[in-house]
Amino acid sequence: MNEEGSKPNPDDIRTEYAALIDFHNSVVSHRFTLVGFYLAAIGLIAGKGINFLEACLILGLTISMYMMELRNRTLYTQMGRRAMDIEVNYWRLNRKDNDDNGLPLFCTMRHSDLPEEIRKSLTPKQQNDLEYNPKFWGRWKIPFLPANHSRGLDFLYAFVAIYAIAKMIFS
């Protein structure tokens, strides 16, 4: 902001939005690069069988990686909410008129955080597009499983942790 109480400079807002997109992309890349290294490490450790100490190591790596995932998820969420705030409050991209009936990028990605007045103004097609649920073999909806990477990563880390605990118990 230029002076207290005045509106921010539009160039500053554009710069902030561009930086948010860059940081957002960086966090996403970092997040999945870590998962790749994690799976490679688990594969190397488990390659010749797992004893009690190796199961402890896998469990420790899993807990550590999940902590990093939660931090990345927090950064991802905070940046997405700020970018959505810029789209809605500074650029007024939430308009509903005949020319533009769509939602901007971060409003679409963070649709669960949309303000109520925008949520009420969505067309049935927009609501259907936002509430996508994956289909098993392209046919049957899986209502409890939203299409999002965070849920998949939660399952991955939970599965490996349960596997490591089971190996610790039964070895």
Token reading at 29: 């890349």
pLDDT at residue 146 in the model: 59
- The model's confidence at residue 101, banded by pLDDT at 50, 70 and 90, is low
pLDDT at 35 (0 to 100)? 96
Give the pLDDT score at 5: 63
CA angle 126, 132, 136 (to 5 degrees): 150
CA 107 to chain centroid: 13
pLDDT at 1: 46
Nearest to 18 by CA among 83, 70, 71: 83
pLDDT digits (tens, 9 = 90+) for 133-150: 666 666 666 666 656 788
- What are residue 136's DSSP bridge partners? 140
Asked if the model's pLDDT at residue 27 lies above 90, the reply is yes
Q: Domain limits of the chain? A: 10-170
Question: What is the rounded CA–CA span in Å between residue 17 and residue 104?
Answer: 12
Q: In this structure, what DSSP letter does residue 151 have?
A: H
41 — pLDDT class (breaks 50, 70, 90): very high
**Distance between CA atoms of 76 and 27, rounded to whole angstroms?**
7
| Mean of all residue pLDDT scores within the chain | 84
Give the side-chain half-sphere CA count within 13 A for 107. 23
